[in-house]
Amino acid sequence: MTRPRLMIPGPIEFADEVLAAMGQPSPGHVDPTFIPVFGRALQDLRTVFQAGEGYQPFILAGSGTLAMDSTIANLVEPGDRVLVIDTGYFSQRMADVCRRYGAVVDVLSAAPGETIGAGQVAGQLASADYDLVAVTHVDTSTGVLTDVAGIAQAAKAADALVVVDGVCSAGGEEVRQQDWGVDVFLTASQKALGAPPGLALFVASPAALAKWESRQAPVASYYSDWGLWLPVMQAYEASRPAYFATPAVNLVMALAVSLRQILAEGLEVVFARHRYVSDAFKTGVSSLGLGQVPTHPDHAAHTLTCARYPAGVGVELLPKVRAAGAILAGGLHPAIRNEYFRIGHMGIVGRSDTLATLGALEAGLRAAGYAVEPGIALAAAQAVLDPVRG
Ligand code: PMP
At 326-337, the pLDDT tens digits run 999 999 999 999
E strand segments, the chain: 5-6, 56-61, 81-86, 104-109, 132-136, 138-139, 144-145, 161-165, 184-188, 199-204, 304-308, 326-327, 329-330, 340-344
The residue whose CA has the least distance to atom 12 of ligand 1 is 64
pLDDT at 2 (0 to 100) = 87
pLDDT at 383 (0 to 100) = 97
Q: How far is the CA of 90 from the centre of ligand 1 (A)?
A: 7
As a whole number, mean pLDDT of residues 160-184 equals 98
pLDDT at 220 (0 to 100) = 97
pLDDT at 100 (0 to 100) = 98
Q: How far is the CA of 65 from the centre of ligand 1 (A)?
A: 6
The residue whose CA has the least distance to atom 2 of ligand 1 is 167
pLDDT at 173 (0 to 100) = 98
Which one-letter amino acid corresponds to residue 386? D
Looking at the DSSP bridge assignments, the partners of residue 132 are 82, 161
As a whole number, mean pLDDT of residues 278-297 equals 98
As a whole number, mean pLDDT of residues 253-267 equals 98
What are 364-380's pLDDT values in tens digits?
999 999 999 999 999 99
**Position 389 confidence tier, pLDDT thresholds 50, 70, 90:** low
CB 179 within 8 A of CB 50: yes
Residue of 133, 134, 102 whose CA lies nearest to 217: 102
Helix, coil or strand: residue 300: strand
88 lines ligand 1 (CB under 6 A): no
Q: Considering just the CA atoms, what is the radius of gyration of the chain in Å?
A: 21
Instruction: State yes or no: pLDDT of 8 exceeds 80.
Output: yes
What are 17-47's pLDDT values in tens digits?
999 999 999 999 999 999 999 999 999 999 9
Mutate to test the pocket of ligand 1, among 6, 8, 12, 65 (most ligand atoms within 8 A of CB): 65
Residue 31: other Cβ atoms inside 10 A: 12
Distances in Å between the Cα of 130 and the Cα atoms of 134, 136, 213, 322, 385 are: 11, 17, 19, 46, 45
Percentage with pLDDT > 70 across the chain? 99
Half-sphere exposure of 193 (CA within 13 A, CB side): 35
167 lines ligand 1 (CB under 6 A): yes
Residues 6+ apart with CB under 8 A from 159: none
The model's pTM: 0.98
How deeply is 6 buried, as exposed, middle or buried, from its count of CB atoms within 10 A (0-12, 13-18, 19+)? Answer: middle
Half-sphere exposure of 167 (CA within 13 A, CB side): 28
Q: How far is the CA of 375 from the centre of ligand 1 (A)?
A: 34
Q: How far is the CA of 342 from the centre of ligand 1 (A)?
A: 14
61 lines ligand 1 (CB under 6 A): no
Instruction: State yes or no: pLDDT of 390 exceeds 70.
Output: no
Question: For residues 253 and 182, what is the distance between their CA atoms, to the nearest angstrom?
Answer: 27
As a whole number, mean pLDDT of residues 102-111 equals 98
Q: How far is the CA of 167 from the centre of ligand 1 (A)?
A: 6
Residues 6+ apart with CB under 8 A from 300: 143, 144, 145, 278, 282, 292, 294
As a whole number, mean pLDDT of residues 270-293 equals 98
Question: For residues 346 and 343, what is the distance between their CA atoms, to the nearest angstrom?
Answer: 10
Instruction: State yes or no: pLDDT of 273 exceeds 90.
Output: yes
295 lines ligand 1 (CB under 6 A): no
63 lines ligand 1 (CB under 6 A): yes
pLDDT at 1 (0 to 100) = 80
As a whole number, mean pLDDT of residues 8-15 equals 98
Mutate to test the pocket of ligand 1, among 68, 167, 169 (most ligand atoms within 8 A of CB): 167
- The mean predicted confidence, pLDDT, of the chain is 97
pLDDT at 276 (0 to 100) = 97
CB 164 within 8 A of CB 172: no
Query: For residue 9, which atom of ligand 1 is closest to its CA?
Result: 8
